[in-house]
A and B are shown apart, each in its own frame.
Chain A
C-alpha cells in the first residue's frame, strides 16, 4: 500500500520542492547575497548571475562593524547565562512535579502553560520601571532577568517528562539505605537525567538566543552589551546598506543555534510535540 506510481512520485516531489523553496529561499538568497560583490547587488532589476563570487564579505564585515565579535560574544554569553539560570530554577521544580503529589499540582502546571502564552510585550512597562529603579537598565542583567522567566514554564514541562522516565525503584532503594533527598538528587537523579538536562539546557539556550531582540531594544542602549540581533543593524549606514556583509554576519549569527539544533533536533522535537500530540 505504500507504493507510489511514478506520476504520484513526481507530484509529491514537486510539491515538496515548492514547499521547501518557500521555507529555504530566504536562507539561500542570504547566502548568495553574502558571496556577491556589493556593486552586483545594487543593480536593478535583480541580476541572477554573478561570476565573481567570493567570501570577501566574511572578512570585511569585521572591519565595517568593529564590535561584531563583541556582539556575537554577548549573544553567547547572554544565552548561556539564561540557560544556566533556567536550569538552576527548573531542576528542583521539575523533580517535585515528577515525583511528589501535592495540592494544586495540576492547576499550577496549567498556570505554567498559560504563562507561555503571554508575550513579553505585555509586562515590559513594569519591568522597565523595576529595572530602572534597581539601576539595572543598560546591563547584561536587564536582558538576562526577563529572559529566564519566559523559559522556566516550558523547561519545567520538558524536564518533568525526563524525570518521570527514571525508574522510581532506584530512589526507593537509596531511600531505604538512608540517603537523603539531596543525596538522591545528586547521586541518582542527576547522573541518570544528564541527557534530559542537556536537551533542556540546549532548548533554553536556543530559546534565549532567539528572544534577545525585544529585551535588547527595550532595556539596553549600551553598545558593549548588545547581542547580535540588534548589533546587525549597524550595517545599515547613512548612505547605503552593506547588504552582502550584513547577510554574511547574519548567517554567522544564526549558525550556532542552527548547528546545535541539527544535532539535537530529534530530542527537542520529540519533547515538545509529545505534550501536544499525546498528552
Chain B
C-alpha cells in the first residue's frame, strides 16, 4: 500500500521515528554497557576510581589456574545440563504427544518450573536437598542408600550434580513445549502413508518424527546452551558457587569478582570473555536460523 501513498524515503523516516525510542533505550541500557565493559576491562576500576592498566587483568586471568578450571567446569556443567534437558524434553514431548486422555492437562502441568520465578523455585530445591530433613536424603536413608544425613549441596561432586539437576528442572519444560509444538507441526499424511505401508510406531518415530523435527532440535540445543551458559540464579541461590568453588561457573565468577568485591576491572575482563563466547553462540544461532529460513523459502 505504501508505495501508492507515500514515497519510500518518507516511509523510512516514519519507521525510524517509531523505532527510535526502543532503539535508543536498548543502546543506552544494553549496547553502551557492553562497550563500556570492554573499556573497563583495560582498567583497574573500583569504587575508588580507575587507571588504565593495559592487558594486566587479562594476563592475570589467563595465567591463573583457577580461571582455567572455571572455564572447563562451565563447559562440563553446560554439557550435562543441556544434554539432559534435550533428552528428557524429547522423551517428555513424545509422551505428551501420545493421543491419550488427559494430555491437554499434562501439557499445562509441565510448564510451572518455566514460568515461576527461578529464585522462588530454588527455595523449594533448597528444602528438597536439605541433608537432615529433606525428602531426597530421607528416601536415601530409609532405603539404605545413604547411611546417615547427607548434605547434597555441601560436597563438591554432589553439589555439582545437584545444581545440574535443578537447572534441568528449570529448562526442561520449555524444551518439551517446543518439541511438542514441532511434533504437532509434522504433516499427518506422512504418518498415514507410513501406517499403510506397515511401519511400526518405532519406525514412524525414527523415520518421520525425528527427521522432521531435527531443525527444532538443533535450534533448541543452541538456545538452551546459551541459556544454560547464562544460568546465574540457580547456582547462586543453591551454593553461591561453592563448596570450595565446585559450582563456580563463568557467570558466577564474573558476578563475584565484579559485584562481590567491587573489582570492576577484573570483573569486566571476565565479562568480556563471557561476551565473546555468547557472541559465538549467537552467531551460530543466527546463521542457523538464516539457513533454515532459506531452506523453507526454497521448498
The interface of chain A, by Cβ under 8 A from chain B, is 1-2, 4, 9, 12-13, 15-16, 19-20, 22-27, 29-30, 33, 41-48, 88-90, 92-93, 95-97, 99-103, 105, 108, 110, 112-115, 117-119, 121-130, 145-146, 148-150, 152-153, 156, 168, 171-172, 175, 181, 206, 209-214, 218, 228-230, 232, 243, 246-247, 250, 253-254, 257-258, 261-262, 265, 269, 273, 276-279
Contacts A23-B112, A93-B19; A117 near B232 (Cβ below 8 A): no
The interface of chain B, by Cβ under 8 A from chain A, is 1-2, 5, 8, 11-12, 14-16, 18-19, 21-23, 25-26, 29-30, 32-34, 36-37, 40, 45, 88, 91-92, 95-96, 98-100, 106, 108-113, 115-121, 123-125, 127-128, 132-135, 137-139, 141-142, 149, 169, 172-173, 177-178, 181-182, 185, 191-192, 195, 216, 219-220, 223, 226, 230, 232-233, 251, 254-255, 258-259, 264, 267-268, 271, 274-275, 278-279, 281-282, 285-286, 289, 292-293, 296
Q: Are B285 and A119 in contact (CB under 8 A)?
A: no
Q: Are A13 and B123 in contact (CB under 8 A)?
A: no
**A102 contacts which chain B residues (CB < 8 A)?**
11-12, 15-16
Q: Are B138 and A45 in contact (CB under 8 A)?
A: yes
**B111 contacts which chain A residues (CB < 8 A)?**
261, 265, 269
Q: Are A172 and B1 in contact (CB under 8 A)?
A: yes
Q: Are A126 and B33 in contact (CB under 8 A)?
A: yes
Contacts A103-B12, A232-B123; A175 near B33 (Cβ below 8 A): no
* 24 pairs of residues in contact across A and B, judged by CB atoms under 8 Å: A2-B99, A15-B91, A16-B95, A22-B172, A26-B121, A27-B124, A29-B128, A92-B21, A100-B2, A100-B12, A101-B8, A117-B226, A119-B232, A119-B278, A121-B271, A122-B275, A125-B37, A125-B40, A126-B36, A129-B36, A146-B29, A261-B115, A277-B178, A277-B182
CB distance from A105 to the nearest CB of B (A): 8
**A278 contacts which chain B residues (CB < 8 A)?**
185
A46 to B285, CA, bound (A): 45
A22 to B176, CA, bound (A): 13
Contacts A243-B127, A253-B117; A276 near B230 (Cβ below 8 A): no
A16 to B44, CA, bound (A): 54
Q: Are A279 and B37 in contact (CB under 8 A)?
A: no
Select from chain B the residue with minimum beta-carbon distance to A14.
Answer: B95
A173 to B185, CA, bound (A): 36
**A181 contacts which chain B residues (CB < 8 A)?**
14
CB distance from B151 to the nearest CB of A (A): 12
CB distance from B14 to the nearest CB of A (A): 7
A2 to B100, CA, bound (A): 9
A172 to B1, CA, bound (A): 7
A39 to B76, CA, bound (A): 40
**A89 contacts which chain B residues (CB < 8 A)?**
21-22, 25
Q: Are B216 and A276 in contact (CB under 8 A)?
A: yes
**B113 contacts which chain A residues (CB < 8 A)?**
23, 26
Q: Are B33 and A127 in contact (CB under 8 A)?
A: yes
**A24 contacts which chain B residues (CB < 8 A)?**
109, 112
A126 to B28, CA, bound (A): 11
**A108 contacts which chain B residues (CB < 8 A)?**
19, 23
A130 to B219, CA, bound (A): 35
Q: Are A44 and B185 in contact (CB under 8 A)?
A: no
Chain A to chain B: the 3 pairs with minimum beta-carbon distance, closest first: A46-B138, A119-B230, A123-B33
Select from chain A the residue with minimum beta-carbon distance to B233.
Answer: A213
**B5 contacts which chain A residues (CB < 8 A)?**
172, 175
Contacts A1-B195, A273-B181; A29 near B115 (Cβ below 8 A): no
**B132 contacts which chain A residues (CB < 8 A)?**
42, 44
CB distance from A132 to the nearest CB of B (A): 9
Q: Are B117 and A229 in contact (CB under 8 A)?
A: yes
CB distance from B81 to the nearest CB of A (A): 14
A253 to B36, CA, bound (A): 36
Q: Are A26 and B251 in contact (CB under 8 A)?
A: no
Q: Are B1 and A118 in contact (CB under 8 A)?
A: no
**B11 contacts which chain A residues (CB < 8 A)?**
100-102
Q: Are B29 and A26 in contact (CB under 8 A)?
A: no
